[in-house]
Amino acid sequence: MAAAANGGGGETKAAFARIYDALKAELLRDPAFEYTESSHQWIDRMLDYNVLGGKCNRGLSVVDSYKLLKGVDVLTEEEMFLASTLGWCIEWLQAFFLVLDDIMDDSHTRRGQPCWFRVPQVGFIAVNDGILLRNHISRMLRLHFKKKPYYADLLDLFNEVEFKTASGQMLDLITTHEGEKDLTKYNIGVHRRIVQFKTAYYSFYLPVACALLLSGESLENYGAVENILVEMGTYFQVQDDYLDCYGDPEFIGKIGTDIEEYKCSWLVVQALEHADESQKSILFENYGKKDPACVAKVKDLYKELNLEAVFHEYESESYKKLIADIEAQPSVPVQKVLKSFLHKIYMRQK
């Protein structure tokens, strides 16, 4: 089998992008459904609108991790296709979550364009589109992996991660609801549980688990790796919460709204932990209000409590612990995969 042009980062991205076109074309020829011209056009447009447009970090991580596990810089054409297909399955999963999340959150924009359900003529058809996006994953896995010995493990992995993520989303939605009645319900345990289930499994564990299965490994032997990746995902989300308040909107590409939206953010949890009674009352009066003056009071309180320093201390401790845990792993290629993830996110500014 000829080697694919997938050596450098730019080449890998280009090869990965071409494979999206091939997968989409296959879905649009799926013999299980008789496409009309209008349904063909709808799916074509819906996929381009929702699956594309992100940075594809999760999907590309499957390819990068697989290369590190195999100890090669270039994959064969078939290896590149299979690794990219699993990467795109994760991007499809992300699209499915985001389409439905935006409806639940009543959001307006996503990736610099109107949310899919806000597009004229789409509306709540977006709910069914979300269901179709999820079903496309099963179609792609069946088409390309059915004869592989790890097919059942792949299906199980995607089902497991989807269940964890949807449960994390439920926790986020009902906690925000409860918090509106009582801010003291927000604590580090609640925050951690939401983050682990809603973000860490599908963003960090899933790409590496896909690469391990492709490499012929059994996931049962990698419980410690799962724990490290979930810890990394937790650290990633804490960074996100921090950047929501302290990041430069020009640089991170969005304006933070966690305070206005009453989010169970790491910062508010830390504020509740460090504040005295009078400071807590400022939080209770102003958190979750759209009024810019209220938001400013919360930010002033964060400054007073020196939460920037608290975050930098957390970041440094997390990094040290993660490095120690990674270096305790017996497999050097696995260590390389984990370190490559950590170094992509450590001290990031966006």
Q: Name the residues annotated as catalytic.
A: 55, 96, 101, 105, 110, 172, 198, 236, 240-241
248-251 long-range Cβ contacts below 8 angstroms, 24+ apart: 248/349, 251/349, 251/350
Is 141:158 a contact under the CB 8 Å cutoff? yes
Strands (E), 62-142: 109-110, 113-114
d(CA 200, CA 4): 31
Which residue, chain included where needed, has tokens 């966690």? 258
d(CA 72, CA 66): 9
What's 2's DSSP letter? P
Three-class secondary structure of residue 113 per DSSP:
strand
d(CA 299, CA 305): 10
Is 130:199 a contact under the CB 8 Å cutoff? no
Return the half-sphere exposure (C-beta side, CA atoms, 13 A cut-off) of residue 315. Answer: 21
d(CA 245, CA 303): 11
d(CA 221, CA 214): 15
Strands (E), the chain: 109-110, 113-114
- 110 - beta bridge partners? 113
d(CA 186, CA 298): 16
